[in-house]
Structures are given as C-alpha cells and as structure tokens.
Amino acid sequence: MRISKLFGKTLREVPADADTVSHQLLVRAGMVNQLAAGIYSYLPPGWRVLRKIENIIREEMDKAGGQEVNLPVLQPLEMWQLTGRDKAFGKSLFTLYDRRERPLVLGPTHEEVITQLVGRYAQSYRDLPLLLYQIQVKFRDEPRPRGGLIRVREFHMKDLYSFDIDEAGLDESYRKMLQAYQNIYDRCGLTSMLVEADSGAIGGKDSNEFMVIAESGEDEIIYCPGCKYAANMEKAVSVKEKIDNGEPLPVEEVATPGMGTIEEVAGFLKVPQSHTLKAVFYIADGKMVFVVIRGDLDVNEVKLNNQLHCSELRMATEPEVIEAGIVAGAASPVGMKGFKVISDDSVKSGTNFVAGGNKPDTHIKNVNYPRDFKADIVADIANAHAGDKCPKCGGTFASTHGIEVGHIFKLGTFLSEKLGASFIDEKGESRPAVMGCYGIGIGRLLAAAIEQNHDDKGIIWPVPIAPYHVYLCPLYREGSKVADVAEKLYAELETAGLEVLYDDRQESPGVKFNDADLLGIPFRVTVSPRTLEKDSVEFKLRSEKETELVPLGEIVGRLRELIES
RNA sequence: CGGGGCGUAGCGCAGUUCGGUUAGCGCGCCGCGUUCGGGACGCGGAGGUCGGCAGUUCAAAUCUGCCCGCCCCGACCA
C-alpha cells in the first residue's frame, strides 16, 4: 500500500478526549475515529488489524472443532422475555420497533438465538456435541462507554456456544475452549492471565476470564504470587483473620456520643476496626436487606447478589434507611426484627464484637454470633484485598488491574430448558443440552494489544496482528536512484507475499520515521543515497533501537524469514 | 442516574471573567520555491451555523434560560 493513497491521516497531537494510551494511539495513528460515545469507525489500517485478529480466532476455533455460523443482529424481544434476560440486561438492551410496532432488540449476545436454532436441528444425542461460533457486531447500551475501544456500545465479538449431552461433555468443551483461548492470546503476542470469575446470576459452576494486565484495565485482579491462584475481585476469596477476644462476655451498652462511622467508633472505644461489626443496607428488588459485616471488611456486591438472587440490587439511600426506622450510624442486627438479615461469615470467626446499639449515640460491646443475633444467610460476601492471605497456600495476595479480553462460562441447562434445546438420549428420553458460552471482544483485544505493546513514539504491533509487516521508507534526493530502487523493492516485496506500507510521500525523513513508529509497523526498511552507496538498505525492528545495513539482494529473503517464523 | 470538566476551522488551543470594528494562533490542507537521516523554511492561499434554540441588548463567541453532545470519577452493567 502506498501511503500517499492510504485513507486517513496521522496526528501529531494527542486528541483531547482520549485518556487511555490505546485510545490516543489508535486515533493518532489514524486507525479509528469516534462517531459518538462508544461508537467508532475503523479506518483501513485499524480494520486490517481487526481482521487479522479475527482470522487467528477463526483458525483456533476451527481447530478446536468449532463451526462458523452467522446469526441475526435483529432479534424479537419476545425471546428475551422468555428467558427473563430482558430484565437482566435492563437498559443495556438496545430496543427498537418495526413498522408493525413489534419490539426488537439489537443482539447484545446470542444465547437465545443459538439455543433455539440448535433446538430445531439437534434432536439426537448423535448430533452432539456442537461448538458453534460467529464473529459479529454486538450492541450494548453501556451506562458509561470509556477508554476508546475498551468499553464501547457497538463492538465486534467472537461468541461460541457449546452444546453437550452431559456435564462431562461440557467440561471437555470448556477445556478445549480454554486451550484455544490461550493459543489465541499467545498468537496475538499478548501476555494474558487466566482468572476465576463470577458466573453471575445465570449460574453454572465455572467461569474464567482472560485478563491483559494494564493500568487502564477496569477490573481488579487478586492473585497469589505463591500458588497460581488468581481471581477477579468480584469472585476472589481470602482467609479472614480470626478475631479472638476470649470467651463470650455479657453484652454491655456503651455511650458513643457523636460517633457514627466505624473509624470513629473504633477510635473512640480504642479497639481495632476488625473487632467491630457494621451494618450496611441494600434494596434488593425493592426490599430492604440488612447486611452485617466485620468493620474492617467491605461488602462485595456481586457476592451479595449471588446470595440474594435478585435482579436489582443497590445501596439504600439515607432517607430509605431512616424511614425503615433504622438508626444510621448505630444500627446493628441485635434485637432487630422485620428485615432479611444477611451476614458475612466473618461474624462466626470472632468473639465479643462491638456493634451498634440501635439507639442514637449508643453501641454495644461483647456481641457474639449466634448468641445475640441471627442471620437468614451467613456466607462470604466480603471483598478480598491485596495483603490478605491466600486460602490455598497461605501466601499473601497481591492485586493488579486487567482488561478482560475473554470470558468463558459453563452455563448448564437453564437456557436449553427454556428454549427447547433438548435431544433424545440413548435410552430414548428427552434431555436438555448442557451449554457453555465463550466470548472474546475483538476490538478490546486490539486495544489491549496496544496497551501492552507501545512506547512513547507509538504502537509496536506484534507481527501476527500488525496492519502491515514492512514499512518501506525511501529518503528521496534529486539525482539519486532512491526512487527507482524503492519502487523495484516495493514490487519485489509484494510479489514475495509481504504486506508493505510504502511511504512514497515527499516528506522529510523525520516525518516518515515518526509515522513509521506511530503506526507500529514491525520492520522498517530505509532506502537512501547513503545506503545505496553500499548497495544496501537500512533495516530496523520497531521494537529495537539499533539499525543494520542489509545488502539489497538479501533484504527480501531476510524479511520473509522473519515474518514466516 | 449522581458528581466534576468541556464544546470556537480536520486536530490542538487562545479569546468568554468585565458584551463593542472584519474571531485569532499553532499543526494539518492547497500553490510556488528552497531544503532533505528523527515531526525543515520562506512567500502566497483556502477553510468558521463560535454545539443548538430562544431571550436580553443599539450590539452576543462573551450575559440569561432551556436543550443537545463529548470526556473523567462513581452508581449501574452476563
């Protein structure tokens, strides 16, 4: 490709509305352009990268036994109502009406469609297992798109769905996908981290995410440097220190004038925050829930939601708390009635806590579970943090941020039951297919690749996903043979099957070199009067500083070797 | 949805506080010339509903009201 003909333009300055590195570089390099919040056009070089990633994914999916299909973006809302997931997605679901006023959604994912489709065709156990996938645009009306391509409202996704006759089959499909995903990230030149993830309200026993470690990542990962444990903070479990305050003592009321927060109360009574219990209030599907947790811990809303199985969960507002007759700042479950109480399991592993007195300016000492209060549910609903102990090996947790570039789920039979994806087994009985689903956000993967591969000059594309392999950079001078040699070399490289970006512009060397760096093309070949004196070209890797003179006759072979390996 | 910031040429910005000729600057773009190994220089040019609507005023980029859009933090979100 001749740069003089390439659609798009590189920018010298950082776009004002781009905060993350990948967003800045994508825009500056002329790879994407924003149309509206979370909606982007891909320009030719950016689109080439996207297609390369797609092809790698396609190859790995096919290798794992996947078959490619293409499912409709437009889907009747009815299907979503059938599975109840219209509510789960809520406002994230783009909804529109056809000319007959029938509601349709723009598919945010395709479990409903594929499950119904499989139900029509897979009738016998002989038809399973099935691994069906597509690469297609998805629509989600995200509350807050951000970070350029990191979180968008219209995005390209590879989604594969597995259908098996039983759990063992699902485990096998899941294992295949896990391996395929690792192959994909490796081939894209990405270092990814496999973490345990929350499987959400849908259920299913396992779920894993693939994370690319990056400052700009939205997810917090908790991991143990000792063993290989790693999990999304939503899911991570740590050892909660035992609070041993001796044998349970009789409860005792204490005055705590003006002390509202846990810090204040603990400071006033001169006890560590871990020796207190705090109460937090949530509204779950419209009902007040009383949550009790040790003072030094905080509530993990995902875990809480998993215990409550509700579709809408939010913190209660102060007026709601007051209206419920609760004394904010001094609330505790002791003597409280009329609320669903859910408690973190940390209350069990300690004695003689300080808790609220349910009267203004009053707390009680020596609160013990279950002697002094009961909870409807006791479970782990606390966030794990860096510094906590690992339950597997006793090591100390660390944390980092990651971009979620893939997520795989074991779904089970929830959807196949509702949508009629059942088959006749060997005994002639009808059974629902056991499902899994596996997604990769391709644009996000592209952005993550930049987050992980760049310097202050620009992008450094890994060879397999680079928009072009070679940046051919002639430095013209009147009366030299540079132009002729470069033209010839360009033709030769193209004939050899290499993807060449040919900078045929009448620009100064600085401009060309800087664009080469910004665009991140892995190999740069410079032809100049200086190199031609030695019948050579200058060869440089984008990732390295050094340059090297390579004889004209050898450069094509040298590049081929590098690119094909 | 809550909090904060912003909206002036393709991009980055000044001008808005305190209303007053023809709205500026840099980059980019077009033409000519000189340059040519890390974002060169000179001369000449093109390009603007100052986010939109309404209002106040002799006069609005500037003041007022409403609306729209974008970014960041949070809430939310398979």
Tallying the residues shown for chain A, one arrives at 565
| Tokens matching residue A452 | 């992980």
Is the CB of A475 less than 7 A from some atom of nucleic acid strand B? Answer: yes
Residue that wins the pLDDT comparison between A31 and A287 = A31
**Three-class DSSP category at A398:** strand
A155-164 pLDDT, tens per residue?
Answer: 999 999 999 9
In this structure, how many other beta carbons lie within 10 angstroms of the beta carbon of residue A551? 12
CA distances from A343 to A293, A294, A532 (A): 6, 9, 77
**Would you say residue A562 has pLDDT above 70?**
yes
How many angstroms separate the CA of A86 from the C1' of B77? 13
pLDDT of residue A435: 96
pLDDT of residue A204: 64
CB within 7 A of strand B (chain A, 478-497):
478
How many angstroms separate the CA of A353 from the C1' of B65? 56
Choice among A101-110, A168-177, A230-239, A350-359 with the minimum mean pLDDT: A350-359
How many angstroms separate the CA of A10 from the C1' of B28? 10
Is the CB of A115 less than 7 A from some atom of nucleic acid strand B? Answer: no
How much is the average pLDDT of A273-277?
88
**Would you say residue A77 has pLDDT above 60?**
yes
A220-238 pLDDT, tens per residue?
Answer: 999 999 898 999 998 999 9
Choice among A189-193, A211-215, A453-457 with the minimum mean pLDDT: A211-215
How many angstroms separate the CA of A460 from the C1' of B42? 37
A284 confidence band (pLDDT: 50, 70, 90): confident
Is the CB of A16 less than 7 A from some atom of nucleic acid strand B? Answer: yes
CA distances from A254 to A137, A150, A269, A274, A363 (A): 61, 51, 9, 18, 5
**Would you say residue A492 has pLDDT above 80?**
yes
Is the CB of A407 less than 7 A from some atom of nucleic acid strand B? Answer: yes
Burial class (CB in 10 A: 0-12, 13-18, 19+), A257: exposed
pLDDT of residue A359: 82
| Tokens matching residue A204 | 């299913």
End-to-end Cα distance, chain A: 23
**Would you say residue A144 has pLDDT above 60?**
yes
How many angstroms separate the CA of A157 from the C1' of B73? 28
A479 confidence band (pLDDT: 50, 70, 90): confident
Amino acid at position A392, single letter = K
What residue has its CA nearest to the C1' of B28? A11
A330 confidence band (pLDDT: 50, 70, 90): confident
Query: Which DSSP string corresponds to A49-67?
Result: HHHHHHHHHHHHHHHTT-E
How far, in Å, CA of A447 to CA of A156, rounded?
A: 12
Is the CB of A543 less than 7 A from some atom of nucleic acid strand B? Answer: no
How much is the average pLDDT of A193-202?
79
What residue has its CA nearest to the C1' of B78? A200
How many angstroms separate the CA of A35 from the C1' of B18? 38
Describe the strand order of the beta sheet including A377-379 as a list of residue ranges. A313-315, A277-284, A287-294, A340-344, A377-379
How far, in Å, CA of A218 to CA of A468, rounded?
A: 30
Considering all nucleic acid strands, name the nucleotide whose C1' atom is nearest to the C-alpha of residue A14. Answer: B12
Cβ atoms A465, A195 nearer than 8 A: no
How far, in Å, CA of A110 to CA of A85, rounded?
A: 11
**Would you say residue A200 has pLDDT above 70?**
no
Question: What percentage of residues in chain A have a pLDDT greater than 70?
Answer: 99
**Would you say residue A550 has pLDDT above 70?**
yes
Is the CB of A109 less than 7 A from some atom of nucleic acid strand B? Answer: yes
**Would you say residue A447 has pLDDT above 90?**
yes
ipTM of this predicted complex?
Answer: 0.95
A40-61 pLDDT, tens per residue?
Answer: 999 999 999 999 999 999 999 9
Considering all nucleic acid strands, name the nucleotide whose C1' atom is nearest to the C-alpha of residue A148. Answer: B71
**Would you say residue A360 has pLDDT above 80?**
yes
Amino acid at position A274, single letter = S
In chain A, what are the domains?
Answer: 58-218+400-449 (3.30.930.10), 252-379 (3.90.960.10), 468-564 (3.40.50.800)
How much is the average pLDDT of A318-340?
78
**Three-class DSSP category at A418:** helix
Considering all nucleic acid strands, name the nucleotide whose C1' atom is nearest to the C-alpha of residue A92. Answer: B77
**Three-class DSSP category at A26:** helix
How much is the average pLDDT of A316-327?
77
Residue that wins the pLDDT comparison between A468 and A271 = A468
Cβ atoms A473, A493 nearer than 8 A: no
Backbone angles phi, psi at A541, to 5 degrees: -85, 140
Is the CB of A41 less than 7 A from some atom of nucleic acid strand B? Answer: no
**Would you say residue A203 has pLDDT above 70?**
no
Q: In 3D, which of A114, A35, A47, A42 has the Cα closest to residue A79?
A: A114
How many angstroms separate the CA of A504 from the C1' of B41? 22
CB within 7 A of strand B (chain A, 280-319):
301, 312-315
pLDDT of residue A253: 87
Choice among A90-99, A520-529, A531-540 with the minimum mean pLDDT: A90-99
DSSP bridge pairs for A289: A282, A340
How much is the average pLDDT of A512-536?
97
Q: Which residue has the tokens 């999990």?
A: A231
**Would you say residue A202 has pLDDT above 60?**
no
CB within 7 A of strand B (chain A, 137-196):
140, 142-147, 159
Is the CB of A518 less than 7 A from some atom of nucleic acid strand B? Answer: yes
How many angstroms separate the CA of A219 from the C1' of B74? 15
Burial class (CB in 10 A: 0-12, 13-18, 19+), A117: middle
Average per-residue pLDDT in chain A? 92
Cβ atoms A304, A275 nearer than 8 A: no
pLDDT of residue A329: 74
What residue has its CA nearest to the C1' of B76? A143
pLDDT of residue A450: 97
Is the CB of A545 less than 7 A from some atom of nucleic acid strand B? Answer: no
Q: Which nucleotides of B are covered by protein (CB under 7 A)?
A: 1, 6, 11-13, 26-28, 35-40, 69-78
How many angstroms separate the CA of A209 from the C1' of B78? 12
How much is the average pLDDT of A16-20?
92
A153-191 pLDDT, tens per residue?
Answer: 999 999 999 999 999 999 999 999 999 999 999 999 999
